[in-house]
């Protein structure tokens, strides 16, 4: 049934149940990828299955895709075995696609001519098919050229083929070839048995290591529990020192705040003194300017030549007054400088 369904769906290769007598993961992966592309051509499932990790990832991705898109639950373990049990899982997908194809074909046969004329062709949904058609056309062209070249060599190869067919089969050579093939098969079987024995030994060694690690883990956990239950001898002293340190820290914070406040007050006081000193300097400058102006005025009045003797006496008295003013100014400057 599986092979017939795959042939009906258009799978390019011929499949027989003999292909699944032994695990054949490459064929299973190829069939799965083809079925996914047949269900949804725009799917982006990677087809790399070279390593074991890539194969596990591929099987999980296909199972998740079928579960979400087609609501088909696949057994990943059976798919990974890639034998006859995997065919049963593949049959779930192929039966759905085969039933859909039959249903679609029946519905198309039952459609009248009027409904078919009303069908609207959606170009956007056929872009992927158009690309595939172009690729197939290029492949057909290249294959046709290769086939033409091979057919051109048919005249030369025909004689060699007839000679090979007409030549009688030698039993000794056939026997030798069969012996070599049997020997190689036996060697492969022996290698497989050795690998299985090595796997068993490795498994036993790993189980022994796991048990050893478990015992070490249990001993470490017990030791940790005993250490957590015992209180250290220096813990009381540590707690006392910690309380003292907390008190010292609070005292330090208080003193630091007081020191910062006092420094701010000192800066304010210095700023006020600087302002007062600048004001006094400005006042002194104003007084000096005023005294200079009065002295110049007195000197100008004392230089008049047309004055009489009384005026000269008055000038003598004025010069004495100017002298007193100069002395007063000098004393005032000395006081302000002090």
Task: Tell me whether residue 193 is in a domain.
Answer: yes
pLDDT of residue 154: 82
Count H helices, E strands: the chain? 11, 0
Last residue of a domain, one of 230, 248, 281: 230
Strands (E), the chain: none
Extract the tokens encoding 101. Answer: 């194809």
Task: Tell me whether residue 288 is in a domain.
Answer: no
Single pTM value for the model: 0.33
Task: Tell me whether residue 245 is in a domain.
Answer: no
CATH number for position 6 = 1.10.418
Task: Tell me whether residue 36 is in a domain.
Answer: yes
Q: Residues 95, 176: one domain?
A: no
Last residue of a domain, one of 53, 68, 103: 103
Q: Give Cα 140 distance to the centre of its chain.
A: 44
Q: Please write the tens of the pLDDT for every residue from 133-166.
A: 888 888 898 888 888 888 888 888 888 888 877 7
Extract the tokens encoding 323. Answer: 């002298």
Q: 209: domain range?
A: 170-230
Task: Tell me whether residue 22 is in a domain.
Answer: yes
SS3 for 67-130 is HHHHCCCCCHHHHHHCCHHHHHHHHHHHHHHHHHHHHHHHHHHHCCHHHHHCCCCCCHHHHHHH
pLDDT of residue 117: 42
Task: Tell me whether residue 303 is in a domain.
Answer: no
Task: Tell me whether residue 183 is in a domain.
Answer: yes
Predicted confidence (pLDDT) at residue 125 exceeds the cutoff of 60: no
Predicted confidence (pLDDT) at residue 115 exceeds the cutoff of 60: no
Q: Please write the tens of the pLDDT for every residue from 27-70.
A: 888 888 888 888 887 777 777 778 888 888 888 888 888 888 77
| Tally of structural domains, the chain | 2
Q: Residues 8, 89: one domain?
A: yes
Last residue of a domain, one of 230, 251, 282: 230
């Amino acid at each position: 049934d599986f092979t017939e369904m795959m042939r009906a769906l258009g799978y390019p290769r011929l499949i027989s149940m003999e292909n699944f007598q032994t695990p054949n993961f490459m064929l299973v992966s190829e069939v799965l990828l083809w079925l996914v592309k047949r269900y949804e051509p725009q799917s982006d499932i990677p087809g790399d299955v070279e390593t074991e990790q890539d194969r596990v990832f591929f099987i999980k991705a296909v199972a998740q895709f079928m579960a979400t898109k087609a609501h088909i639950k696949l057994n990943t373990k059976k798919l990974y075995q890639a034998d006859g049990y995997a065919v049963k899982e593949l049959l779930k997908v192929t039966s759905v696609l085969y039933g859909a194809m039959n249903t679609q074909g029946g519905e198309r046969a039952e459609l009248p001519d009027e409904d078919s004329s009303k069908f609207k062709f959606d170009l956007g949904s056929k872009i992927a098919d158009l690309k595939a058609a172009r690729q197939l056309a290029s492949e057909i062209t290249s294959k046709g050229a290769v086939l033409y070249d091979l057919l051109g060599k048919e005249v030369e190869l025909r004689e060699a083929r007839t000679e090979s067919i007409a030549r009688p089969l030698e039993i000794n050579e056939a026997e030798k070839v069969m012996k070599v093939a049997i020997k190689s098969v036996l060697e492969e079987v022996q290698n497989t048995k050795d690998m299985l024995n090595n796997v068993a030994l490795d498994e036993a060694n790993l189980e022994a290591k796991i048990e050893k690690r478990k015992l070490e883990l249990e001993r470490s956990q017990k030791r940790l529990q005993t250490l957590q239950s015992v209180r250290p001898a220096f813990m009381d002293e540590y707690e006392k020192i910690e309380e003292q340190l907390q008190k010292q820290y609070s005292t330090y914070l208080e003193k630091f705040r007081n020191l910062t406040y006092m420094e701010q007050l000192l800066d304010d006081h210095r700023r006020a003194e600087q302002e007062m000193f600048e004001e006094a300097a400005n006042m002194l400058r104003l007084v000096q300017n005023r005294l200079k102006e009065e002295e110049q005025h007195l000197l100008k009045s004392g230089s008049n030549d047309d004055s009489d003797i009384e005026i000269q006496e008055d000038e003598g008295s004025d010069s004495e007054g100017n002298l007193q003013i100069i002395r007063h100014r000098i004393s005032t400057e000395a006081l302000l400088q002090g």
